[in-house]
Amino acid sequence: MSNKDNIMEIIIRHLNDEASAEMQSELQQWLEEDPSHQREFDELKLLWNDAANAALHPFDTKKAWQKINDRISLPNETKVIRLFPWKKAIAIAASFLIIVSVYYFYTRDSKTEWKEITALGSNKSIQLSDGSVITLRKASKLRIPDNYGKDSRRVQLEGEAYFQVHHEEKNPFYLTTTKSVIQDIGTAFLMESNDSVEQVMVTEGKISFSGKADKENKLTLEAGEAAILKMQKPELKIVKSKNSLAWKTNILVFDNAALTQVAEDLKDYFNVNFQFSKNLQPTRILVTAQFRNEPLSKVIEELNLFTGLSFRLNDNIIFVSK
């Protein structure tokens, strides 16, 4: 073996901390022989170290650890994802409503008589004298004054309803809830008002939306926009799901939606809970599907086909696993 190859081998060993004492002294000798040797050695060492850095790619260790740690410290039980406590919210809203309405009926102007419509077991459609149609979601309440349309058009809502308002420029339509006021500017919109959320989504035309306490602070919303009331102030909201109206249309559309979003929409529509097994990453599973007035069993069957996952319904909870 030539001397040159030999020294390279020693350098390679030295760089990896594997050189024997004998090799070390040989290297030392070689380095002292000639200043160019030292330069050459420094050059190789720089390359050695820089190559280690260059070979690394940016990966987020911290984030990955959180994920791993979640997976290894979870007990064998699966995790319940409570997306939206619908039943609870309704219950709270209902009791709240009773208090508010009792208070309201005792204190309001006695001249106007209000008719109260409650959608009990199913959604209810109401056509008003001006041609406007209001679809009340199950368990929601609408109040309409006897003199509706005479010199004003005002209704009150508790719960969720879809409004298709006949536009009259000189006689605007007002919707009030316990917390907010909506004035239509020729429109169709979805209003959800309960104890936990106060939100509106416009599907056609325009509305103005404001908190009851501060009616000057109005937000004008156009078709496709949604807003929520936060601390009595209207705030634009990003519409995450196209399925807000599914309860009325009975159509659920998922276009590359994450399984978590699908679960959220199905939960709202069918009033079921979802439980994902711990080895799933439901945000990464994308679903493209359309359901038209299909029963839950059918929806589950189709999801199973699309995703290859198992969906088991038990006591109003759907268990999702591999």
Partner 1 sequence: MNSSKDSIHENFRIFFDQHYQRLCSYAFSFLKDEESCEDIVQDIFIKIWENRQDLIGSDQLKFYMFSAVRNNCLTKIQKNKKYREIEMDPDMETGEIINKPDPEEAIAEPGVLIAKALDLLPPKCREIFLLSRISNLSYKQIADNLELSVKTVENQMSKALKILRIFARENKIYFLIAFCVIGVKYFDPHIGVFIEKLFY
Residue 162, strand partner residues = 135, 190
Q: Under 8 Å CB-to-CB from 83, ≥6 apart: which residues?
A: 260, 263, 264, 267, 274
CB of 32 to partner 1, least distance (A): 17
CB of 312 to partner 1, least distance (A): 24
Burial of 210 (0-12, 13-18, 19+ CB in 10 A): buried
Residue 196, strand partner residues = none
Is residue 69 close enough to count as binding partner 1 by CB under 8 A? yes
Is residue 77 close enough to count as binding partner 1 by CB under 8 A? no
How many chain residues are in contact with partner 1, going by CB under 8 A? 36
| Matching residue, tokens 């420029």 | 169
Distance between the two ends of the chain, CA-based, in angstroms? 59
Is residue 99 close enough to count as binding partner 1 by CB under 8 A? no
CB of 72 to partner 1, least distance (A): 5
Q: How far is the CA of 298 from the CAs of 159, 250, 278, 292, in angstroms?
A: 28, 14, 25, 11
Among the residue ranges 5-13, 145-153, 154-162, 169-177, the one whose residues contact partner 1 (CB under 8 A): 5-13
- The span from the CA of 153 to the CA of 188, in Å, is 15
Among the residue ranges 8-16, 77-85, 97-105, 183-191, the one whose residues contact partner 1 (CB under 8 A): 8-16
Q: Which is nearer to partner 1, 64 or 213 (CB)?
A: 64
Structure tokens at 203: 């599907």
Is residue 80 close enough to count as binding partner 1 by CB under 8 A? no
Helix (H, G, I), strand (E, B) or coil at 160: strand
Q: Strands 251-258 and 310-314, how do they pair?
A: unpaired
Candidate list 26, 31, 41, 48; residue touching partner 1; CB under 8 A: 48
Candidate list 71, 87, 115, 240; residue touching partner 1; CB under 8 A: 71
Candidate list 20, 25, 67, 84; residue touching partner 1; CB under 8 A: 67
- Give the side-chain half-sphere CA count within 13 A for 278: 13
| Matching residue, tokens 């496709």 | 224
* Binders of partner 1 in range 182-241 (CB under 8 A): none
CB 261 within 8 A of CB 283: no
Candidate list 61, 76, 122, 256; residue touching partner 1; CB under 8 A: 61
Is residue 56 close enough to count as binding partner 1 by CB under 8 A? yes
Q: Which is nearer to partner 1, 71 or 150 (CB)?
A: 71
Site string for partner 1, 108-127 (x = CB under 8 A): --------------------
- The span from the CA of 297 to the CA of 320, in Å, is 14
**What are the residues binding partner 1 (CB under 8 A)?**
2, 4-5, 8-9, 12-13, 16, 18, 36, 39-40, 42-44, 46-48, 50-59, 61, 64-65, 67-69, 71-72
